[in-house]
Amino acid sequence: MEIITRSEAETIELGKKIAKQLKKGMVIVLTGDLGSGKTKLVEGILSYFGLESEISSPTFTIVNEYYSPNLNIYHFDVYRLEDSDEFTAIGGEEYFEKGVCLIEWGELIEDILPNNYVKITFSRNNEEENVRNIKIENLEF
């Protein structure tokens, strides 16, 4: 499925819709250039669960952990990891079964992801500053 959003707010709204489909054990890879909207979508997902409304990528910590009554959410940014071995070394895979993992730049550790992961790909538009094309694979809603 492909969706076009025309503002940050629309991407946050899309995040809320996606959030309704999320269940423990799901891994979501967010892929696309710097500033393409990955973190904004995560912001929408978190706000659906009544969690943080202003967030940033977990640039220095690799993972930010959020707890809601029914579901834990683990927000990763693996941009700065050397490879998937480094992800394994920090115990990354142990998070997969504990809640929902949202992994910015997750394609960099593709080789150790569960094979049914959801992939969300963001691309910018050359002409229109605030337009994003968002492709969602492996998730029905």
Ligand X SMILES: Nc1ncnc2c1ncn2[C@@H]1O[C@H](COP(=O)(O)OP(=O)(O)OP(=O)(O)O)[C@@H](O)[C@H]1O
Name the residue nearer to ligand X (CB basis): 97 or 137.
Answer: 137
Q: Are 44 and 15 in contact (CB under 8 A)?
A: yes
Q: Pick one of ligand X, Mg ion, none as the site partner of residue 64 (Cβ within 5 to 8 A by kind).
A: none
Please give the single-letter amino acid code of residue 43.
E
Q: What does R_g of the chain's alpha carbons equal in angstroms?
A: 14
User: Which residues from 78-107 bind ligand X, rule CB under 6 A?
Assistant: 104
Which residue among 27, 29, 31, 57 contacts ligand X (CB under 6 A)? 57
Q: Are 61 and 87 in contact (CB under 8 A)?
A: no
Applying CB under 5 A, does 38 fall inside the site for Mg ion? yes
Applying CB under 6 A, does 119 fall inside the site for ligand X? no
> For 105, left (φ over 0), alpha (ψ -120 to 50), or beta?
left
Q: Pick one of Mg ion, ligand X, none as the site partner of residue 47 (Cβ within 5 to 8 A by kind).
A: none
Q: Count other Cβ atoms within 10 Å, centred on residue 27.
A: 21
Applying CB under 5 A, does 31 fall inside the site for Mg ion? no
Which residue among 72, 123, 130, 133 contacts ligand X (CB under 6 A)? 130
User: Which residues from 20-39 bind ligand X, rule CB under 6 A?
Assistant: 32, 34-39
Q: How far is CA 117 from CA 29, 39, 100, in A?
A: 7, 18, 11
Binding-site size, ligand X (CB under 6 A): 18
Q: Tell me which residues touch Mg ion (CB under 5 A).
A: 38-39, 57, 104
